[in-house]
Structure 1
Amino acid sequence: MSIETNWAGNHTYRARIESPRSVDELQEVVARETRVRAIGSRHSFTDLTDITDSDAGVLVSLADIPTAVEIDESTRTARVTGRAAYGEVATQLHAAGWALGNLASLPHISVAGAVSTGTHGSGVENGSLATSVASLDIVGPDGEMRTTSRGDADFHGSVVALGSLGVVTAATLDVEPTFDVRQDVYTGLAWDALVGDLETITKSAYSVSLFTRWTDAGVEQVWLKSRAGDAPTELFGALAATTTMHMLEGGATESVTQQGGVPGPWLDRLPHFRMEFTPSRGEELQSEYLLPREHALTAIERLRALGERMAPVLQVCELRTVAADEHWLSSAYGHDVLGVHFTWLRDVERVYAVLPAIEAALLPLGARPHWGKCFVAEAVDLAPMYPRMSDFRALRDRVDPDRTFGNAFLDRVLG
């Protein structure tokens, strides 16, 4: 068996991988196996999608099932295959005159994987990618297909579900007419300016990203993605960049989406990275914590105090806002949140050594970790953060009582 790893290269999959070429073949695989986990674009940084005991089951990749995008203009929705990358879906939608309301920073991630972990884009009025889901087609533990849609009793427990309820084969997403976006970058935003005008700054564009290394230099870059209007030459003292910027020191600027205020299609501006290039650096680890926005200034103060401790392994940290949603296991459930995203060096030991201090600072503020990234909190720490956790556990017991879709990761974080 060949050695298979995740995108970052820090996790080697232990179980064998099968790649069905149709949904029917997938259903046959699920029905005959006692343990199944789906792997998408492999952008998780832990054993979230793995099975520890390779004899106990199989990992399924849907990469060999062709991408399909079926647009229904009457309902303003598009049904897409779950394994499809957002970039592929966006390209087909745009060609037909349609768009998604938001995208994550990477267009390479799969629809099903992003939705099921609560992955998000940015914007004070933009929810996570899960909020665009109108329905899901899911292969259950018996190999049978079921569909859950908005309005169904189980819907808000089934979208952000970490793959624990089945294998998502298709998602129906809300779409809107295609639109243009301009991207402007500013450099040198002082801490005093950010603290004094955080709300105004995060509302200054359709999508706003703030990049810092938690040093006295403050916020080194601010990326504004705007759907309309002109951009100012300065932003609370930060000046407009005159060249293309990469948020990582020494990063290849040809891989980032176009800056400089040049309007272009939404799919070429909302992500940080171009679809045709290898995303970010690859050789990295990532963590993210999302906390109620009313605690943003306290979180910033606490993280600045940890700056020197994080510095040896931190490449950059990105701050973004996400609107509240109703999905039970979403990091934005019930709260408008500030996302604090860390891009680390790929040094597992040193990164995990600093995570407890970060969680000690942020979890008391209501911060919830991104399910697909590196964190150390376990079920006893996480359950109080999710008011619907007991409802989700009851749903899981009913849908998958034998834990066909379970694994060690879910045991740790869900209990």
Structure 2
Amino acid sequence: MNRDSLLYPLRNPQNTEHDSALWNWAQNTVVGQREQVHQPQNEAELQQLLSSSKGKVRVIGSRLSPGRMLCVNGDDLLLDLSAMRGVLGEDDDSITFAAGTLLQQVFDALTARNRMLGCSPGVISVQTLAGAIATGTHGQGLDQSSLADEVISIRMVMADGRVREFHRGEADFPAAQTSLGSLGIVTAITLRTQPFRLFTCHKFAVSADTLEQDLPRWNQQYELSKAWWFVDDNLMHVWNANPASEADVQAWHANGGEVIEHGEDTDSSLNDTIDQTLAHMHRDTQIEGKGGKQFRTVTRFRDFTDLSGDIYQLFCRGIAVPQINVEIGVPLDRTPEIISKIKAWYAENHPHMHYPIILRCTGASEAWLSPAYQQPTCFFGFVVYYADDGSLSQEGLHFLTEVEKLLAAEGGRPHWGKYYDPQRYGWREIYPQWDAFRAVREQLDPQCRFSNDYVTALFD
């Protein structure tokens, strides 16, 4: 098996619903056997299961991450926490959810209470809350960081069945915030909340000639900012959002809490670029006609307009489609120089662009293993969608490989829940608290019950 097939496995396009093997969501890796899956109905059942068993243990969550993060041996346990969902408690400034609660359920519960999180959401809302926190899921905006940074406390069942709560301010709390599932089984998470607000998202297309200066400026001037870089056409599509005006707030409420489209300012300037991108995607995925959901991720940029709504309506807009997704966070203060290097590399090599580069920036994180730990960070995101037959564009994969080399050399840190080449990173060099995390892991799980080949390769 060659190296590319290990990093970017081909997909099994067959219906695996009735297989004895359990596949990850993208159906590119078998993570275990269905008979290994246990579904505790509550924390007490989980405690009993852990205390009475001997094998290694992993949680399957929504199975969105690469299969290598979850893959287990035949005598190990796979835990399905989908029965442990919903609100467990709340007060004026915080709310506690069961670990298996989906992000969409979190957002809906907060909105119903006229509250919201202090961070912008990730784009995919079918993640479990515990899984999103454990892998460093983040949104965009320099005044906030990852979802894990909104956590007040985390409740875990440890390897021997005991319960441990980690509270903000405790010495090992930053280890528990983003733990890759390697410390214990999370059962409950308490998040701080703030009053509900609405935003107006201003969308526009602009040349990428001055992206080095524009990207920091957009993030300084707007509370939330996200951009797509269509490198082939040297164009940017930008979403900048600030709190909505009182008039837009009233219009949103009058519209039954649905998004307000400011349609009088529809912009078609990106339409030719969208058509070109769709043509590339159709060729790469061998899909004729209008195709599937992956094409909606770019068709929404055609004839775009400003929008007003809540933060989840505006930014939690991802479409879950099987893909190879690489995202690398680099120090924000080095981002202009890195953008210039990507431009120079592109001008020299003219690589095939399968999809625009996605740019999102966040503030510094407190979590030891967050890619944004201790530094404002710009995340560069890259996507290659699977073809209907389960194959991948080799030109697209070549682009991923080369751009990851470039970003890793600049001190980049990969998103844990996405694809990356581990050989490109010196973990101790890029994570100042790497050995401190290892020490917490060794203390809390001395028998390495929450380990597997993936975790062992990282920490042992």
Give the TM-score band, short-chain normalised.
0.7 to 0.9
Quick one: which of 154, 164, 175 aligns to 1:146?
Answer: 164
- The question of whether the paired residues in 2 share the 8 Å contact of 1:148 and 1:158 is answered with yes
Give the Å deviation of 1:389.
0.5
Q: 1:414 maps to which residue? A: 459
For each residue in 1:71-96, what CA deviation from the matched residue of structure 2 results, as whole angstroms up to 9, or x when unmatched? 211xx111011111111011111111
* 1:80 aligns to 2:101 (yes or no): no
The TM-score normalised by the length of structure 2 is 0.79
Q: Which amino acid aligns with 2:41?
A: R
Q: 2:257 maps to which residue? A: none
Give the Å deviation of 1:125.
1.3
- The question of whether the paired residues in 2 share the 8 Å contact of 1:182 and 1:225 is answered with yes
Would the alpha carbon gap of residues 66 and 362 (structure 1) be closer, same or farther in structure 2, given more than 3 Å must change? closer
Q: 1:100 maps to which residue? A: 117
Alignment of 1:10-409 (within 5 A): 10-15=28-33, 16-31=36-51, 32-51=53-72, 53-55=73-75, 57-73=76-92, 76-101=93-118, 102-187=120-205, 189-219=206-236, 221-229=237-245, 241-242=266-267, 249=278, 251-252=295-296, 260-273=305-318, 279-280=319-320, 282-307=321-346, 311-312=351-352, 314-346=354-386, 347=391, 350=394, 354-378=399-423, 381-409=426-454
Give the Å deviation of 1:59.
1.2
- State how far apart, in whole Å, the 2-side matches of 1:62 and 1:379 are: 34
- The question of whether the paired residues in 1 share the 8 Å contact of 2:30 and 2:67 is answered with no
Give the Å deviation of 1:367.
0.6
Would the alpha carbon gap of residues 305 and 284 (structure 1) be closer, same or farther in structure 2, given more than 3 Å must change? farther
Moved more, 120-129 or 311-320: 311-320
Moved more, 176-185 or 118-127: 176-185
Give the Å deviation of 1:33.
3.4
- State how far apart, in whole Å, the 1-side matches of 2:114 and 2:104 are: 15
Give the Å deviation of 1:130.
0.8
- State how far apart, in whole Å, the 1-side matches of 2:127 and 2:312 are: 14
Give the Å deviation of 1:348.
6.0
Q: 1:235 maps to which residue? A: none
Give the Å deviation of 1:403.
0.4
Give the number of the structure whose alpha-carbon radius of gyration is greater: 2
- The question of whether the paired residues in 2 share the 8 Å contact of 1:289 and 1:368 is answered with yes
Would the alpha carbon gap of residues 342 and 177 (structure 1) be closer, same or farther in structure 2, given more than 3 Å must change? same
- The question of whether the paired residues in 2 share the 8 Å contact of 1:210 and 1:319 is answered with yes
Give the Å deviation of 1:263.
2.2
User: RMSD across aligned C-alpha pairs, in angstroms?
Assistant: 2.9
Would the alpha carbon gap of residues 243 and 19 (structure 1) be closer, same or farther in structure 2, given more than 3 Å must change? farther
Give the match's secondary structure for 1:59: strand
- The question of whether the paired residues in 2 share the 8 Å contact of 1:310 and 1:354 is answered with no
Gapped regions of structure 1 (runs ≥ 5): 232-239, 274-278
Give the match's secondary structure for 1:261: strand
- State how far apart, in whole Å, the 1-side matches of 2:400 and 2:314 are: 32
Give the match's secondary structure for 1:252: helix
Would the alpha carbon gap of residues 172 and 285 (structure 1) be closer, same or farther in structure 2, given more than 3 Å must change? same
Give the Å deviation of 1:50.
2.3
Give the Å deviation of 1:255.
10
Give the match's secondary structure for 1:344: strand
Bigger proportion of residues as helix = 2
Q: 1:276 maps to which residue? A: none
Give the Å deviation of 1:198.
2.4
Give the match's secondary structure for 1:330: coil
- State how far apart, in whole Å, the 2-side matches of 1:19 and 1:109 are: 17
- State how far apart, in whole Å, the 2-side matches of 1:310 and 1:136 are: 47
Give the Å deviation of 1:349.
8.5
Give the Å deviation of 1:207.
1.4
Give the Å deviation of 1:312.
4.2
- State how far apart, in whole Å, the 1-side matches of 2:85 and 2:103 are: 14
- State how far apart, in whole Å, the 2-side matches of 1:313 and 1:66 are: 40
Give the Å deviation of 1:127.
0.9
- State how far apart, in whole Å, the 1-side matches of 2:147 and 2:379 are: 14
Q: Which amino acid aligns with 2:98?
A: T
- State how far apart, in whole Å, the 2-side matches of 1:104 and 1:403 are: 30
Give the Å deviation of 1:352.
5.8
Q: Which amino acid aligns with 1:345?
A: Y
Gapped regions of structure 2 (runs ≥ 5): 1-18, 249-264, 279-289
Q: How many residues align?
A: 395
